[in-house]
């Protein structure tokens, strides 16, 4: 009897949660794969008569870890929250850490960011919102070489990293401080509050490659004791806890079964 009931309860819960999510407007029009993780920055641009800035996560995360940008370079994980200014970039902070016309990746110096005096076509590469600027890095060409996933960018980033199809830079000379790496914590399962729901496997091992420790502790998960932070699926849909990343840059929350899996014992 119990064996039949559990799956039924799970399906009911899924339907309930999905309709709840829809009601809260979580189920927006799904972005195109290349637009997943795209952000537009406009704290100061239009006010200063330049087009807003478009930043693609897919391109940058194919080269760098989340940790490098969100810890070492100090970018907030919330659009607009950092308040990047042209002067910061000119002085070698934020985008200007790499985009200074000097720093070399893949044997190529990266084009420079903002400039006080002149305005030229280089400006358009970032200040591109609403303009017809041709991207030099082509998403389709890149994605064709990557393992596939259903949602988000349509790319299985986890597998791409594991199979060495992308090599992530986690350290910038002169910026990152080299420190002893902390021992990676054990993987564990989280038990949902509702009985009978499949457990959630959380892999420290897999997350640490991208995020180090500091991206999650203590800002997103204060408790470094399993079970210390209490959260629900509704809060995750709302962009808190796991939802800080999942649904915006990491695979979306609509991919239920990637988190709600049975653990392999």
CB of 1 to ligand HEC, least distance (A): 22
Residue closer to ligand HEC by CB (options 6, 204) is: 204
Separation CA 115–CA 117 (nearest Å):
6
User: What's the CA gap between 39 and 78, in Å, rounded?
Assistant: 10
Considering only residues 60 through 119, tell me which ones interact with ligand HEC, judged by CB under 6 A: 60-61, 63-64, 66, 68-70, 73, 75-82, 84-87, 89, 94-95, 97-99, 105, 110-111, 113-115, 119
Q: What is the gyration radius of the CA atoms in the chain, in angstroms?
A: 21
Q: Which of residues 181-220 bind ligand HEC (CB under 6 A)?
A: 182, 184-185, 188, 190, 192-194, 197, 200-204, 206-208, 210-211, 213, 215-217, 220
Burial class of residue 116 in the structure, from the number of CB atoms within 10 Å of its CB (0-12 exposed, 13-18 middle, 19+ buried) = exposed
The HSE-up count of residue 233 (CA atoms within 13 Å, CB side) is 24
CB atoms within 10 A of CB 218: 11
In whole angstroms, how close is the CB of 19 to ligand HEC at the nearest point? 10
Alpha carbon distance 143, 61 (integer Å): 13
Dist. CA 19–CA 56, nearest whole Å: 30
Which string of x and - marks every residue 223-252 that binds ligand HEC (by CB under 6 A)? Answer: xxxxxxx-xxxx-x----xx-xxx-xxxx-
Considering only residues 52 to 71 of the shown chain, the ones binding ligand HEC according to CB under 6 A are 53, 55, 57, 59-61, 63-64, 66, 68-70
- Give the nearer residue to ligand HEC in terms of CB position, either 32 or 224: 224
User: Closest approach of Cβ 26 to ligand HEC, in Å?
Assistant: 9
- Per rule CB under 6 A, is residue 262 in the interface with ligand HEC? no
> Is the Cα torsion angle 263, 13, 244, 126 positive or negative in sign?
positive
**Shortest distance, CB of residue 196 to ligand HEC, whole angstroms?**
10
Q: How far is the CB of 99 from ligand HEC (least distance, A)?
A: 4
Q: Which of 6, 9, 14, 160 binds ligand HEC (CB under 6 A)?
A: 14
Stretch that binds ligand HEC, among 1-9, 27-35, 140-148, 254-262 (CB under 6 A): 254-262
Structure tokens at 260: 């709600």
Going by C-alpha positions, the residue among 263, 33, 20 that lies closest to residue 152 is: 33
Determine which residue in the list 6, 9, 18, 166 makes contact with ligand HEC, applying CB under 6 A: 18
Q: Dihedral angle at the C-alpha atoms of 236, 237, 242, 247, nearest 10 degrees?
A: -170
- 164: number of Cβ within 10 Å: 7
- How many residues belong to the site for ligand HEC (CB under 6 A)? 115
Give the separation between CA 107 and CA 239, rounded to whole angstroms. Answer: 38
Residue 259 to residue 237: CA distance in whole angstroms? 13
Taking residues 132 to 171 in sequence order and writing x for each that binds ligand HEC by CB under 6 A, - otherwise, the string is: ---xxx--------------x----xx-------------
Q: Which is nearer to ligand HEC, 146 or 245 (CB)?
A: 245
């Amino acid at each position: 009897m119990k064996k039949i009931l559990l799956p039924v309860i799970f399906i009911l819960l899924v339907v309930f949660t999905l309709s709840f999510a829809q009601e809260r407007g979580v189920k927006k029009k799904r972005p195109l794969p290349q637009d997943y993780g795209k952000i537009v920055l406009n704290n100061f641009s239009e006010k200063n008569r330049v087009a807003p800035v478009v930043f693609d996560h897919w391109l940058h995360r194919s080269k760098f870890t989340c940790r490098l940008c969100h810890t070492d370079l100090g970018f907030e994980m919330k659009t607009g929250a950092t308040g990047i200014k042209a002067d910061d970039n000119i002085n070698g902070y934020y985008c200007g850490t790499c985009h200074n016309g000097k720093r070399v990746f893949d044997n190529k110096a990266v084009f420079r960011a903002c400039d006080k005096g002149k305005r030229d076509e280089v400006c358009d590469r970032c200040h591109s919102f609403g303009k017809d600027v041709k991207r030099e890095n082509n998403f389709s060409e890149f994605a064709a070489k990557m393992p596939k996933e259903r949602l988000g960018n349509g790319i299985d980033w986890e597998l791409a990293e594991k199979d060495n199809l992308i090599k992530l830079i986690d350290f910038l000379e002169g910026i990152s401080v080299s420190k002893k790496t902390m021992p990676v914590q054990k993987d564990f399962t989280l038990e949902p509050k509702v009985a009978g729901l499949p457990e959630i496997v959380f892999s420290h091992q897999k997350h640490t490659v991208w995020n180090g420790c500091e991206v999650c502790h203590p800002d997103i998960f204060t408790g470094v004791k399993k079970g210390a932070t209490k959260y629900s699926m509704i809060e995750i849909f709302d962009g808190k806890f796991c939802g800080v990343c999942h649904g915006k840059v990491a695979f979306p929350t609509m991919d239920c079964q990637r988190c709600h899996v049975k653990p392999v014992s």
